[in-house]
Amino acid sequence: MGCCQCCGIEEQFNRAEAARKLHEYRHGGPARTTQLLLDALMREPVAGQTVLDIGGGVGAILHALLKAGAAAATDVDASAAYLAVAREEAARQGHAERITYHHGNFADIADTLAPADIVTLDRVICCYHDMPTLVERSSAKAARLYGLVYPRDTWWVRAGVRAENGLMWLQRSSFRVFAHSSAAVDAIVRRNGFQQRYTHNAGFWQVILYERSADAQAAHT
C-alpha cells in the first residue's frame, strides 16, 4: 500500500490493538454504534444478500449478517493484524468458507471487487484522508444498502479530532483521524442514487443507512 495514511493504519491497528478488540467483541458483542447499524440493517431483507464490509475490523458486521442469512461476504481491510483476527473469529464461528478477505487500500483495489447488495463502512471514513474517492467508490459498489458510522459534523467533534491528531503527532505516528463534512458525504451518496433510510446520533458518532432508489437499483443491475 503506497499511501502514508495506510501505513499509519497498519501502525495504529496493530496486533495488540486487534487482539484487544477481538477480546472486547467476544466478551461484549459489537460496539454500540456497530449494533445500531446492525439493528437498522436487520430491519431490511438480509437473507440471500451479499455483503462488502470495508475496514471490517474483527468482523462483527459480517458475522451478524451471515447469521441472519446473508449468502456471502467480503472483508477489505488496510490492517493485516485485523484481517488475521477476523479470519480467526470466522473460523471460530464457522463462517470461514463464506467470507473472502482482501488486504489493501479499498480505494486502490475497488475496481477488482464485485458489487454487493450491502456495503458497510463502520468507523472507516474517519480513518481515510481522501473521503470523496472512498465514498464515491464504496457507494458505487452497493446495489441496495449502504451503511456508515462516522464522526458527527460538530465543532466539538472537530476540536476532539484536532486534539487527537496533536497527540498522534507528539507520538510520531503517521496515522491521523478526520472529521469530514457530513453534507459532502451525503451529497456523494445521493448522487449515486441513494436516499437515507435511518439516521441516529450517538455521542461522537452518527449512524446512517442509505437505500438505493428503485430506479437506481434497476440501472445498477
Would you list the domain boundaries of the chain?
4-220
Which residue do the cell numbers 472512498 mark?
134
When pLDDT is cut at 50, 70 and 90, the band that residue 173 belongs to is confident
Mean pLDDT of the 97-105 span: 95
The rounded mean pLDDT for the chain is 93
Mean pLDDT of the 94-107 span: 95
pLDDT value at 207 more than 90: yes
Q: Domain 4-220, what fold?
A: Rossmann fold (3.40.50)
* pLDDT number for residue 213: 83
* pLDDT number for residue 216: 65
- Has this prediction a pTM greater than 0.85? yes
* pLDDT number for residue 167: 92
